[in-house]
Amino acid sequence: MSNIRKVAELAGVSVATVSRTLKMPERVSPLTRDRVLAAVEQAGYRPNLMAVQFRSRKTRNLVVLVPVIANVFFARVISGIQEAAQAFDYRVLLCDTLGREEVEVAYAELVRAHQADGVIQLRAFNPFSDAGSDGACMPPMVNACEVLDIPPCPTVRLDNRAAAREMTEHLLGLGHRRIGLIKGPQGSPLTRERIAGYEDALKAAGVDTDPALICRGNFTLQAGYDAAGQLLASPERPTAFFCENDEMAIGAIKRIREAGLRVPDDISVAGFDDIPFAAFCDPPLTTIAQPAEAFGRHAVEMLVAQFEQHSLEATHLVLPHQLIVRGSTAAVTQ
């Protein structure tokens, strides 16, 4: 195997230039970069990654803890993570945890074992809970999407309460007063925040919250289908369903149709997330759009900043949402 000096000789540059080209290609001219890369190929040179890691004390690996990789929203977040990680020359170690704390702790330990540089956690659980309440001994981590207040952990989040309030206000503005809510998993911060936004809008409109109109879900198609069945069986059927994610809304639409009812003529249905399928539903789904890919990109940027700037100062970034009105909601007809 050729060494770096042979590459430098073939490219007609210094060893330092070869090293800089391989580690920070953006800092050399395109002409020099092309010459060095051609020489690397010609010489069959492969850097000693273990030696590089030892000198830099970096593995260039990022652990990403995903509660449900099959969830379309999280798939979009991962896409943003991958894009940003590649731009910073980091590799992504993806773990589909299924929400199991022991799995998340085990993967997070890769950082303490110097097999990864940091963690991006996409749900509300701190895998470094033994670091102390002040977070002084916590390894680098960014908490995104479902967030906890973990000092000094940076977070990327949406104002879920404000978004849910806006969606509920949209339904109220169409004349709906009996609005069924199909919520997310019990204990999830997202669930609590979206319920609070729903209740805020009802209270402001002078409408009492009816606990019988709030059904448990878990962000799956089946949960939306099952919860819709419960709401349809109510003595006084809701005129609108607000589902805390799009997948549950799609499941609810299927159940409504099976009952011989029409969306939105008989029941309006709204979701949350604006996954790609939302625009292609029949009818297209009214929803809250949140910038999933941006969650991933910002999480990587904030994590890399901890490595490069050696800063543990907590940064809390709130990304914008947008109400997307489509054909699944309409004015009440009864």
Domain residues of the chain, as ranges? 4-47, 58-157+292-319, 160-290
Which residue, 75, 66, 15, is CA-closest to 40?
A: 15
How open is the CA angle 80-198-332, to the nearest 5 degrees? 105
Distance of CA 263 to the CA centre of its chain: 29
pLDDT at 1 over 50: no
**Topology given in CATH for the domain delimited by 160-290:** Rossmann fold (3.40.50)
Domains 58-157+292-319 and 160-290 share a fold: yes
pLDDT digits (tens, 9 = 90+) for 87-99: 888 999 999 998 8
Classify domain 58-157+292-319 by CATH architecture. Answer: 3-Layer(aba) Sandwich (3.40)
Q: Omega into 152 within 30° of 0, i.e. cis?
A: yes
d(Cα 306, Cα 138) in Å, to the nearest integer? 12
pLDDT greater than 80 at residue 133: no
Q: What are phi and psi of 318, to 5 degrees?
A: -110, 120
| Averaged pLDDT for residues 169-173 | 98
> How many CA atoms lie within 13 Å of 163's alpha carbon, on the beta-carbon side?
30
Read off the tokens for 263: 């969306």
Pick among 1.10.260.40, 1.10.1270.20, 3.40.630.30, 3.30.230.10: CATH of 4-47: 1.10.260.40
Q: Report strand pairing: 316-319 vs 155-158.
A: parallel
- CA torsion sign for 185, 219, 270, 324 is positive
For residue 264, give every residue at least 6 positions away whose Cβ sits within 8 Å of its Cβ, in sequence order, or none. 283, 327, 328, 329, 330
pLDDT in tens, 14-65: 888 888 787 766 677 888 888 888 888 888 876 654 454 544 467 889 999 9
The residue ranges of DSSP E strands in the chain, in sequence order, are 61-66, 91-96, 118-121, 141-144, 155-158, 179-182, 214-215, 240-243, 268-270, 287-289, 316-319, 322-324
Q: Which two tokens stand for residue 47?
A: 């850097």
pTM (two decimals): 0.80
